[in-house]
Amino acid sequence: MNWKISLALILSISIIIPATSQQEKRVKNVIMMIPDGTSVSVLSLARWYKYGICPADNTCWLTIDKMICGLVKTHSSDAPIGDSAPTGSTYATGYLSKSGYIATYPKSSGKNKDLVPIDPKRAYQPLFTILEAAKINHKSTGLVVTCQFPHATPADFSAHTPHRDQYDLIAKQMVYNHINVVFGGGTKYLDPLKRDDKENLVTVLKNRNYNYVTKMADFKKLQSSDSLVWGLFADDFLPYDIDSNKDSIPSLSEMTDKALQILTKNPDGFFLMVEGSKVDWAAHNNDPVGIVSEFIAFDKAVETALNFAKKDGNTAIVICPDHGNSGMSIGGPRTARGYDTLSIGSITTPLTNCKYTADGLALKLISLSDINTVPKVFVENTKISLTVAEQDTLKALVKRGVAPLSRKIAKIYTEHSYVAFTTTGHTGEDVMLANYHPHNYRLSGVVQNSEVNTYMMDVLGGKSLDTLSNKYYCIDSLTLKGYAWQIIPNVTSKNYATLVIRKDAKSKKRAEINAFTDFVTVFDGKKEIKKISLNSVAVFISEEKEKISRFYIPKLLGELLEKEI
C-alpha cells in the first residue's frame, strides 16, 4: 500500500474515533433522580424490608442496585455537612454554595472557612441551571417531587435566591420560568389570598396555556399532547406514600411516568428532575418506617425511569442523594450483644407491622373522637405492646398536635426495632451514586458533587453554564450603562421591586420589569406599547444588612431596549 494512503488512513482513523466516542456520550434526555437525605444505610434497610414482605430473594433487590457505580462527596462551599439548598444547587449549577442559597453564587464565609475558592465579585449572582440550559436548547423540562414545589431541591433547578425559605418569590420564578411539567404539592403558593404579593399565579399559568390540575381524575386524563402541565395535589406537601390515599393522590412513580409521557414528545429531548423528597423528612423525625417506605416508593419511580430509558435508547439517568441524614444504622444499643444471632424476621417485622409512618399514625390518633381509644388504635396499627406510661404519654400528646405526637411515635418505633440513629440532623458521609447510560458512559468511583453537574452537561451538550449565567444574569449597572434607570420597591413586600428604564431622565417612553418575571413591558407615558419576552427570569436580590438592591437581567437587554425606548 502506498505510504501516503496509509498515513491518510491512520489520520482519518485518529480523527473519526474521538468523534464517534464523543457522539456516543451524547443523549437527548437526562433524568436526574434525588432521594433527598438518603444515607447509604437506607439501601440496606430497604432491601431487607422488601425481603421481609417478599421472601423470594430474587425479587427483593432494589431497582437501583445494579446501577450503583460509586459515591458522591457532597458538601457546601463552607461546611462538610450540607444543607439541601446548596447541595441540590451544586447538582443544578456545578458550583458549591452555602446554606440557604438556591442556584446563587455564595458570599465568602472567610478564607479560613471556605472549602472551595470563592470569587467575591460574583457574590449573589444567579447561576444558570441545567434545567434552564435545557430550555435554552429547545428541550422540554420537568420537575416531579413529593414536597411543596418551591421547596429547596425543585427550587435549585428553577429559581434563584440566597434565602431558601422565600417560598412565594421562588414560586413566582418557577411559574414564569417556562417549565413544561411540574408535579407535586403546594397549591397555596399560587393562591393570591396566601401570597405576599397577592398575585394569582394560577391565572398566570392558565393565561400561558398550562393545563392546571389538582385532582387525581384530571391527572389521569392528561395526554402526551398536553405539553404544558402543572399538577399540584395538596395545599402544601404530599403525604408519605404509605399514608397516602392512592385514589386521590398519584404516587411518585405515577407522576414520573406521566411526566415522561409528556416530555418525550419533544423531538429535541428533555431534562427531568425527580425527587423522593420525604426520605429526608422521615430521617429528620428518626422514623424508620417513614424512611424505608419512602425510599421504596422512590425506587419504584427509578424502575419507571429505567424502563423508559432502556426502551428509549437515548436517555441517561443519574441518581444521587444531596446529603446524608440521621446517621441511621441497622444495629444500635439493643444489638450490642447477640447481633450475630438476630433473625431477618426480628429485624424487619417490627417495621413491616406498622401500617403508617409516625406522621400518618399521629394524624389518625388525633382524629379519634375518644381519646381513651388511642392505645388500642395504636396497637392495632403497629402490633407494638405499650407500657402504661407510653399509653398515658400518647394520650397527653394527642392534645398537643401532630409534631410532638409524631416524634414520640417515631421514638417508640425505633425503641421496638433494631434500628438506631445518631442525630435528627444531616450527616456528612459520602452518598451513593447510580448511573445509567445507553452506551455505558458512566461516572464511577468517588466524585465531587459538582462533577455530577459536569457529567450531565457533558452528555446533553450545549453551552457552558458559566457562559449562560454571564449572558442572562448580568448585574443591572453593567447592562444598563448609559440609561436612566431606578429600582422601585414594592409597597406590599420588600422582596419584590420593579426596574424602570428610560433613555434619559426626560424621556416619556420607559421599560418596566417586575421582579421574577420573564418579560419587559414598554410604555409611552401611561400607554402600554408592547411586551417583550426574555429567555430568563429577572432576578431581584435585596440584602438590607449589606445595603444591596439589584436586578440581574440579560446582558443584551440594553441593546434590545435601544430600539424600543
Catalytic residue numbers, as ranges: 84
CB atoms within 10 A of CB 211: 18
Helices (H), 369-487: 374-382, 388-398, 402-415, 449-460, 465-472, 476-479
**458 burial level (CB within 10 Å; 0-12, 13-18, 19+):** middle
Locus of grid cell 414564569: 176
| β-pairing verdict for 431-436 and 315-319 | antiparallel
> What's the DSSP call for residue 104?
B
Cell reading at 279: 426520605
Closest C-alpha among 208, 352, 207 to residue 293: 352
Cα 239–241–246 angle (5° rounding)?
A: 90
Residues 6+ apart with CB under 8 A from 225: 265
Cell reading at 399: 392534645
Cell reading at 480: 444598563
CB atoms within 10 A of CB 54: 11
Helices (H), 367-448: 374-382, 388-398, 402-415
The one-letter amino acid at 228: L
Distance CA(176)–CA(537), nearest Å, equals 7
Distance, CA of 382 to chain centre: 32
Structural Rg of the chain based on CA atoms: 26
Strand-pairing partners, residue 72, are 431, 447
Strand-pairing partners, residue 551, are 540
> What's the DSSP call for residue 271?
E
Strand-pairing partners, residue 532, are 520
3-state secondary structure 282-338: HHHCCCHHHHHHHHHHHHHHHHHHHHHHHHHCCEEEEECCCCEECCCEECCHHHCCC
The one-letter amino acid at 140: S
Q: Distance of CA 419 to CAs 287, 315, 326, 328, Å?
A: 10, 37, 11, 7
Cell reading at 23: 457522539
Cell reading at 492: 406590599
Distance CA(363)–CA(243), nearest Å, equals 10
Cell reading at 265: 414528545
The one-letter amino acid at 406: S
